[in-house]
Structure 1
């Protein structure tokens, strides 16, 4: 599987890929309040900012890494996205953040500053293209809408908004995985070695950005899954701004298929289980409809904790961008991550499934329906379902934010058509 543009989980797993080859020196670097913009001029523009394309980073741990972003955009082995944008005369501005777990609205202020700086530095009057990957698409969507509605802000002078596997209708963090992570952190969060890993992952899931993105969230293992208050507040704010920027053409892509064909993971099956020194008869299941015991968690020598859900869809197997995590053995999935953590805690792990779960359903990335709707998740997507003006989906369900020729070329063609 190709490297993701956005390494969603950062250095959660010990020994995971932690470094990338150095990116080329940017032609300019803008230090912004809350982030940094790295500017790469098109060779056609003779080191002048003439036709800016702003590409925003998304959700992960810590601050943005230019090396990591450049690798995903340009060196992933499938499609050289920056080079192809340069070939049509576009200057690329890669926008990163000091804290990728900060709220979407906070990082949107950084995006607004970047847009204003691009307008100020631009030679000529060419309008901008602005968008982002994963949560970066939500950050820039909010930023552009705010610039249209806030009379104290200038015109964003943008013609095209783009999103790349963005959770417009929410992201899916498996409830069983959330519960196990919070449970393990509560029991072993202060244990040397594994404790910091558990606290980091639990903190990521409970961060402002994760609470705003997740369609269902739990703060503790025994909580009832629901939309977090932070998500509800963000959606209200976005709605007050009109929901979308209105004076732009809105395009997007999904790393999942539009045919309604799922990724092959069956609902209600045991995804991973373990037994050993620290955990007894502990298991996680894939999400199913109806009332379900989705996880059984038991520290050896203590009473078991049962995690139940009801009225959730069969979303682990839904079509969409897949949940991938860097690990020493290569990219693993959501339940594979749980297995790694179980093993680190000193237990014998029996993985029940291969593959990985859906992370950003196709209908979320294309803004084409409620991911709480079982039928909508698995129906073919047509243009009249979508809030976007144009979109395309991958020909297979692939890793979230994976840059492919199929999707990258479509975006480049769409941007070129604005000439």
Structure 2
């Protein structure tokens, strides 16, 4: 991948920087329209809220974050704390969106926790794309605050959704390493990428290719959290995919503090199946195509296995259509696991820009695997087709978790379901 003549790169002297179509908008017009309309952020969960979240009983300001507390019995105060950490996105955690996803979907997790006498502490971060190590400071502070405010000595439950499971895993392990008593009996993770997450290389390349037009998508893909979470990452649109050095350093730091907390029982759930059944996404298929004048010629494909495989053709404003190819990657978009509507989110945001700007798009395939099942239960690396698709038993000694549950069907990443939540609730201390 050597052709670097994207919209944020100069062309050779004989190349034109603009289409020869007089009706096509200029780069300046596109930039201005993008600033006032689309904001591409790849994140699971609701895209809008039905109503504001109820006012918390308590709100704690933490270093690098905030905690919203819903007590089971406000008259008794904090007695049985359950800390649940937010996951990866861009910008600060939003209580309204968190509450919408956690309590107003298929299963009302917050309400059920309170019915069972548990106090719910939702841990949010000032910047969800910041380093996991930095956000672990907020998690550690939340744990210590809960201990200080608790009435009685009921042990804590601490965990999180997606990246939040890694943040709290590290925070607890580091507290043990530092000799700090976290008083936590149960650690839980909800579709957390213990062995890495996946964003298609075609999507990452498009994010960086449009950086000059709108940098938000590229900034999210190049954020510290993304570099630490993603199994394969590219920092520029024509880079060769690799494990980023920030992920290598994060894993080394996690290992330095013990890898996992040793005192709590460790459990986790996956939004994907354990049977090896794929999610129905065919490798090598076109998932996204540009339809507007300014983007026609852009195609993004699902990840195929093999050598020199096409995953993207890029064209935005410029005449050139560089191709992005990969070698040696498995067919991971279709792997069993929690899915993310990455292609769909991109198309929806581009289609929110006025049609006259020429950035219309279509997602022929909306989703892709984001956290493979074997990653969510810390069972195997996600680097081969065999590792991703080989079935595994209801419980395996090879998992780094003490106990896990996988969903009956492959479903959206961090979807709050009765199946997974009741299993977790039944194991609370």
Same fold (TM over 0.5): yes
The runs of at least 4 consecutive aligned structure 1 residues that moved more than 6 Å come to none
1:346 aligned partner? 358
The root-mean-square deviation of aligned C-alpha atoms, in Å, is: 1.9
Q: Post-superposition shift, 1:275?
A: 5.0
Q: How many angstroms does 1:67 deviate by?
A: 1.4
Q: Report the alpha carbon displacement of residue 342 of structure 1 after superposing the two structures with TM.
A: 5.5
Alignment of 1:298 onto 2:306: no
- Structure 1 position 53, deviation (Å): 0.5
Question: Can you list the C-alpha shifts for 1:127-183, whole angstroms capped at 9, x where unaligned?
Answer: 1000000100000000000000014xx211100000001011111010001101211
1:397 matches 2:425 = no
CA shift in 2, pair 1:293/1:93, >3 Å: same
Q: Distance in 2 between matches of 1:410 and 1:88?
A: 14
Cα distance change on mapping 1:278 and 1:129 into 2, 3 Å: same
Shift of 1:36: 0.9
The answer to whether residue 367 in structure 2 is matched with residue 367 in structure 1 is no
CA shift at 1:227, angstroms?
Answer: 1.1
Q: CA deviation at 1:360?
A: 0.7
1:334 pairs with 2:364: no
Q: Secondary structure at the match of 2:40?
A: coil
In 1, Cα distance between equivalents of 2:350 and 2:110: 39
Partner of 1:357: 368
Question: 1:376 maps to what in 2?
Answer: 387
Q: State the distance in 1 between where 2:419 and 2:49 align.
A: 27
Q: What is the CA–CA distance in structure 2 between the aligned matches of 1:273 and 1:17, rounded to whole Å?
A: 22
Partner of 1:57: 86
The answer to whether the 8 A contact 1:134-1:164 is kept is yes
Superposed displacement of residue 301, structure 1? 4.9
Alignment map for 1:266-277 (pairs within 5 Å): 266-274=282-290, 276-277=292-293
Distance 1:79 1:36 in 2: 24
Contact 2:338 2:414 in 1 (8 A): yes
Distance 1:302 1:380, change over 3 A: same
CA distance in 2, matches of 1:301, 1:34: 41
- 2:42 is the alignment partner of 1:25: no
Count matched residues: 381
Matched with 2:32 is none
Q: Does 1:46 align with 2:63?
A: no
TM-score norm. by structure 2 comes to: 0.85
TM-score norm. by structure 1 comes to 0.87
Q: Secondary structure at the match of 2:157?
A: strand
Contact kept, 8 Å, 1:20 with 1:68, in 2: the verdict is no
Q: Which residue of the other structure, out of 72, 75, 96, is the alignment partner of 2:104? A: 75
Task: Describe the SS at the equivalent of 1:138.
Answer: helix
